[in-house]
Chain A
Amino acid sequence: MIFNSLSFAIFLPIVLLFYYLCGRRYQNWVLLIAGYTFYGVWDIRFLYLVSLSTVLDFCTGLMIANGRMTLAQRLAPTCHLLGFALFFLVPDWHAVVFQGAYLNNINIDWQQLLTPTSLGLNVLGLSGLGVAVANIAYPYVLKHMEEKTKRIFFLRCSLMGQLGMLGVFKYYNFFVAEAEGCLKSLGVDAPSMHLDIILPIGISFYTFQTLSYVCDVYWGKMQPVSRLRDFALFVSYFPPLVAGPIERASHLIPRILGERRINFENICQGAYLILLGLVKKMAIADGLAGSVFSVYNASGDVGWLDIVTATVAFAIQIYCDFSGYSDIACGVSLWFGIELLKNFDQPYFSLNPSEFWRRWHISLSSWLRDYLYIPLGGNRGSEIKVYRNLMLTMVLGGLWHGAAWNFLLWGGYQGAMLIIHRLFVGRKPAEFCGTLLMRLPRMMFFFVFICYGWLLFRATSFDQISSFTQILLSDFSNMSLHMKIPPFSSLLGIFILIFVEIFQFKRQNIHFYTYYPAVIHGGVYALLIFAFIMGLSNDSQQFIYFQF
């Protein structure tokens, strides 16, 4: 289920209705069921992974902090995991076929739907075994392990489990393919170890989210969650579930456990964010996708102007696609009275790489800072060590985006930019205090470097990176433009977005329109609604960050 779909437009009001009708006591249940439904619609089997992630970190969190679990705390994850293993076991959704002139008839092959697969049986068996071993080993661990050893042991269990899952689903095939390629080039004919698996949507997001919980508990920054259903909601809270913002446990869990403020202001701000997000996604990003595709996925001759325009278009596309998702997630969440982390803060207004990473995908960059860069040593130590830390953090940040060399290269490029920037301006760069107009030349200059990074990110192969770079630097002979012209909705949407971002920057407030009279306030709404309606006709594209 994606935010810009009809199914979500039906799903959300139903969830909201139940949420508002239920008292505070049952609201978390509504959100939990909604989260599992939202995720399960893609492929119900992947709920098992969400469950595994939930159960693992719920238990390790309690064991790290308290060193023990109550019977109820052990029973709940046991039932949870086995229940979701059953979901994995049973349904084969290919057995459900929509037919009829308006796809209004549903044919269900019940036999196919309910016949267990061997993989499902294995998962159920292994889950049962794992749960049994954990419960049998529990008294031994309680009795024989020292407190300190226990804390480290369970931290390692969590890290190995979470990163192991991420590794298998996201990186295994990539590294195996590369290794096989290397062996083949050396003349060794190794048997294929490729696994026939698909990447579960949002695995990188919820894995990082739960890792933040375990680390914070280990470092004593927060108390563990004592009830599984609260922790399960932290993992499966649906607005940020599949494409962020990557919520911090210390930020989201208190909002899940505490009282919520749902008022008219929240609802209005949420509605604006949803509308803005939909315009960014549907009117701009989806419209630009075809134009970018026409250059980056073309096999014919590509000229300098094509590369430049397509790369700038991609810079806008990826910003609108991703920040659009974040805006919708934040807006929807506000309707539930839960404020999410800010994920974007007008990144293209940045003047340097350091500022860019304070404005772009903030929830990831701050995660990397707190859980990778600082533990690596951060700014402490010699300059060489700081550069190493920066490079390592950014390369791993690049790898987080996907198992491909161009993401690694992109991460390396970002690391190199940060290092070069640090070399030039030193440890504590002075903040630029000029007006927007005075910022503009520096913004434009730095935007060129951002765009080259996006070229590395979007390229389909190393050969393409090489040939595009060569053309950009030395071949100005072909200035013809073959790129598909973006639709009117995108052009209008970009025009509106530029104004919105300028006013937002000037006011330092995403809800800048509230400072103006109602006639202008209403005009902003009208323009966004108009752009949204225009954007409805663009070919719907999957959110780019779903693949990560």
Chain B
Amino acid sequence: MQKIIEKKELNNFVKSLMKNYEVIAPVKRKIARFEILKNPEDMYLDEITLVPLKQFFLPENETLFDFKNNKIKKNKTEGRKRIVFGLRKCDLNALLVLDRVMSYPEYIKKRQNTILVGLYCEKPDEFCFCNSMELEEHYDLFFYASGDKYYISIGSKKGALLVRNLDNADKEVKKEIKNFKKLENKNIEKDYSNKKWDEDVEKCLSCSACTVFCPTCNCFDIQDVKELSENSGKRIKTQSSCQLKSFSEVAGGKIFRESRASRFKHFVYHKIVFYNKRFNKYMCVGCGRCLRACPTRIDWVETINSIKSKKGDKK
């Protein structure tokens, strides 16, 4: 059964959560992004954030351990309890995508300590195509707006505890997201060398904006950072991108994805084909952030749509 809350009571509800949890929610600065809330009034729920949530699970730089005098000092992973409020269906599914590949303790701890509260997407824009990506229902709580109320679906015990004091709903409100855009074909494995890609490759600057804004892009390097004056330092995990030439470089200087074409296609194929072969799920969640962030307005979704596959859709 769903719970209900008056829309005007939402800020008070969030405020009450902030007593016991660190609450992360979308805010609007120059662009919409997730931040640790200081005031519930800062929340901005009208549009999808351009910056994805991933930095709160995969920080740009993250210490794996410290060392001094050639001895490792174990890094204590912080166990702060967190709630993320206002996640779209695409954002929630992006975490499922990461869960299948991220296995190091710092990530797992952050996931376990975080309660996920979703919000129905009222206004998908021209870049959204989440309905094409076979997304799952995955949340602790999920809010549907209807009239002057939110109807709240409960997805876990942790979620149920947060809303135990709210009234039960008299009816059930569930809505399907409306998309304007569609990815019509995912069976593109044999189209890797298709000429249709050439125009996108020509426009690509290898700037890596698509991978920075993608909520499921997680590629990283492991590096040592040394204190200059002392015999100490730390080993860090630092975000990287397959669009950078150096990403496929090995000792001696050989680069395995030398061409811009091979790097651009690696991004698209990883999202639609490569990850799917391993996990039978798509790595792309259809949020459209790569399309919004692209400085040369590459629309690989339309490129795929223009590739007519004889065999039709895979699934």
Q: Do A and B come from one complex?
A: no
User: Measuring CB to CB, which residues of chain A are less than 8 angstroms from any residue of chain B?
Assistant: none
User: Measuring CB to CB, which residues of chain B are less than 8 angstroms from any residue of chain A?
Assistant: none
